[in-house]
Structure 1
Amino acid sequence: MKLRLEDITAEAKEITFVEPEMEINRILAQGPVREYHVNAPIGVTVSYYRAGTDLFFAGTLTAQTVATCARCAEDFKASNDRAFRLVMAPKSIGMDGDAGLRADDLEFSLYDGDEIDLGPLVREQLLLALPTRPLCQDDCRGLCPHCGINLNRGECECRSSQPDPRFAVLRSLKIGRN
């Protein structure tokens, strides 16, 4: 979705659109966050207005993802929602003295040209909404380190029969009273 600068006025406007999932899936497949796959278009609502040359955006996005749990390796579906705000200033005047402080802010960006492409903004916000370690549930028990059974589905037989080898040294420890 692209907005022409001349259409962004001091009066706030709101748009709702869907961003295709193909580009974000390509980015996810090439990057460090390969556990996720977006399985439907991303729903986006954005309100926007202008104050001088600065552009202000506030919105929400909703994406349906399929991810692989980091503990049990099961695939699960999740809904990822994120609210965002962004201020954009023109590149030509965005590099003055105080812009160095503003450029570090996640809610600040620079624009160039006659159009604002909201696609990269939506993809960036979705990447920020994804947990770094996907879990199918907060209390996922993971896999048994010995037999590999999913402990969310039941207990394994080897769990109680093998003591933790890290405590083997303690078996030979004799504690006496003096």
Structure 2
Amino acid sequence: MRILVDRLSDTPTEFSFEADTAWWRMHMRPGPEFPAELEQPLRIALRAHTMGEDLYFEGTLDGTLPLECGRCLARYRHSLHEPFRVVLEPSGARVPADPEGARALERDGMCLGEDVETGWYRGPEIELAPFFSEVVATALPLQPVCREGCAGLCYRCGGDRNLADCDCAEVEKSSPFAVLEKLRVGRTEGEC
């Protein structure tokens, strides 16, 4: 997923990439936040051009990821269609303040700024894989839900309430402020 800077011009050039399972394992670090495997590669459509010395990249990332519902724990396919844009300016003599940014600039030829839409570049080529991993990470839901009306698991027996209602009785929660109600009941009107 490398782009040669000297091949870009003020006329937009289109690129397409696929992020396969090997890319996923290398850049997304599968674990609790990210699924371990991709069922199919993610597709990346990219349009790149220059404006002066600045580089403009925009496009979309599309695909489907296997996720686990945060309510019922069922596996489901989450569709991604994430537009992205980033503007990179030459780093010149500037060095990012954070050590990771400085390493990224040396290793990948680019370093993202505070947000994912701006950054710096240095050198004849830019590795975009770390940028695309940021796009994926920001596109994933914080709390994956298989469908909007998911009823989730019963908090008492663990049964999936999407499949069947359980016989667990709803326990009425008592308020920690119920004691104050008893104090107020014992007073006559007009008293504080």
Q: Does the pair score TM above 0.5?
A: yes
How many angstroms apart in 1 are the aligned matches of 2:55 and 2:176?
Answer: 64
Q: Which residue of 1 aligns with 2:156?
A: 146
Alpha-carbon contact 2:20-2:38 (below 8 Å) kept: no
Q: CA deviation at 1:169?
A: 9.5
Q: Which residue of 2 aligns with 1:106?
A: 116
Paired residue total:
169
Q: Which residue of 1 aligns with 2:11?
A: 11
Q: CA deviation at 1:162?
A: 4.7
How many angstroms apart in 1 are the aligned matches of 2:170 and 2:148?
Answer: 27
How many angstroms apart in 2 are the aligned matches of 1:35 and 1:89?
Answer: 34
How many angstroms apart in 1 are the aligned matches of 2:83 and 2:7?
Answer: 23
Q: Which residue of 1 aligns with 2:73?
A: 73
TM-score, scaled to structure 2: 0.75
Q: Which residue of 2 aligns with 1:40?
A: 40
Aligned to 2:125, which of 115, 124, 138? Answer: 115
RMSD: 3.0
Aligned to 2:140, which of 130, 138, 144? Answer: 130
Over 3 Å counting, the alpha-carbon distance change for 1:35 and 1:14 in structure 2 is: closer
TM-score, scaled to structure 1: 0.80
Q: CA deviation at 1:165?
A: 4.5
SS of equivalent to 2:46: strand
Q: Which residue of 2 aligns with 1:156?
A: 166
Q: CA deviation at 1:37?
A: 4.4
Q: Sequence identity, in percent?
A: 27
What letter corresponds to residue 128 of structure 1 in structure 2? T
What letter corresponds to residue 127 of structure 1 in structure 2? A
How many angstroms apart in 2 are the aligned matches of 1:162 and 1:121?
Answer: 47
SS of equivalent to 1:122: helix
Deviations 1:136-163 (A, max 9, x none): 11221111111110011110011xx353
SS of equivalent to 2:174: helix
Deviations 1:69-101 (A, max 9, x none): 111111111111100010011221666xxxxxx
Q: CA deviation at 1:164?
A: 2.4
Q: CA deviation at 1:36?
A: 6.7
Over 3 Å counting, the alpha-carbon distance change for 1:22 and 1:166 in structure 2 is: farther
Alpha-carbon contact 1:36-1:68 (below 8 Å) kept: no
How many angstroms apart in 1 are the aligned matches of 2:88 and 2:177?
Answer: 62
Unaligned runs of 5+ in 2: 96-111
Unaligned runs of 5+ in 1: 96-101
